Structure 1
């Protein structure tokens, strides 16, 4: 007789009336991913025109002000590395929310037009209003553009409920129109403005400093805190609208707030560093395969996104010539992953 499978081991933490249950495999994978992200981040702080040893980097991070290591780490490299970690986590969570709501592995801000909306909103601020790339007004324009794109996709795709396939098809169409608008704006702009907008549109962490990172981090932190109250409704929505209602969830308000949070995360990253593609698509699926969860988990998706973007930035800076934008590396990696995912889905449904 084969043994009975009771599922993976779980642990429960209780404090007063509150309790948190988590799977041991998920917790161990999160710890391993966090350790890998910290290791890659320290490696990124070591590399550059002035190489530093891990000991020098750790000493500088712990407060040592001796030598030039403190200046190099804190003023030159740390904003970029922290941006890669935080922005990657934000994109991973954004993709996880959309894939959870639609129950479709292809649903991500890159595919359904939200990144294109944020990109178009940022271009309007840069080209029409003459605002510098990476500034707060550009981030605001990216948020407005992303929300408008989300509203358009939602209204056009809604027919007696929200279906994942219809959302993706409508999103692809909206994304194509917004990308055409972006090309038109760049072609009509002055040469120097068009060059700035084009570089920003590739998705790069090169111009990100403390001035860009701090406000972006504040918004991401606020959204992450808000998502703490939306995790349970999101899990209930994965069961379907009727099941979520029977469990006491207010379906439409919960879905609306989840979409707003996901759009805000994508738009903030786009406003600060430009559109960084495919992190939102790949991170949740990789996290699900590593943790073997039934649904899309937010924490592993965030850690995978942080790890992938940090590693991609190292490749863009040091493994390729001319210090290419990180968006080009994520496009190559994510494009290959998208092809694999499409082939895998076709084979699975035969």
Structure 2
């Protein structure tokens, strides 16, 4: 397991999430996208609210059991990780785990058992801190959790005479997050550097038709080019990376690339630019979620790229969609390389189109021998 050594020669991470709930139409063994990734996360394992053990949902038990072997049919060197929790999990369950020693131990031991029994190479924690306001003390407890998890994985490797399981976690796009007390709550940087192989920075879902119903906005802009209406703290990938680089080495950072977008209903179809007036979701309710796959099949859809923000968007009739396409993915990868980051992860693989355009674009751009241009 990597520690805070300051090295810059660790294996590149090109990771993708395999989201079981939205992958029913594609089996992992038939997924050509696997060849474009070095790591795949199988999402999500769940946590029992009674004994705090990691469990596999019954309907996905076969998927988890066969996941690694199926993925390696396409790429023998690929590493697989169980992702635990996710956006639909109860944040209170995680709080109970990190605050209570017995709950923590139950989670840790069961997570290792699930990884070994199902032939995975690592474990990933997806605690949705952005849905919950942790206290500063919670973040101190999270540091202890990471240390204990690392110690248990190290002991397991020695006992099994195997490579240690990889340990990773998804974090908010900035290291400082809203706190429920008056003390600033920050992720435990030292624990991350010492006990995790890397962190997945959730550099997307900044804006959608639910969080910004009155005007369109880029869901995952790279740059903060100009402030949109009434937003004095515009979220961008760059602002998050800048803050994280003050806290942890670049080789600990793996940055999220969204393979999904969001669809707004325009107030006036004639006005269809960034930050034009909207009336919420084009779907009539919710946040307007749409996969890249569905974006590419939109009829009469005008596609645009804004190089100032580094975001793609498109419109047709009274529909407006903000998303990432080849242009924004390419520019982001060049930026990540210039910053000497560890790599990227895609949310999520099955949202790509039938030709795996985004998966292929990201991988090929990273591998370019000429190096990244300045952006």
> Which TM-score band applies after superposition, normalised by the shorter structure?
under 0.3
- Structure with the higher helix share, 1 or 2: 1
TM-score, scaled relative to structure 2 = 0.23
TM-score, scaled relative to structure 1 = 0.24
Higher relative contact order (CA 8 A, sep 6+): 1
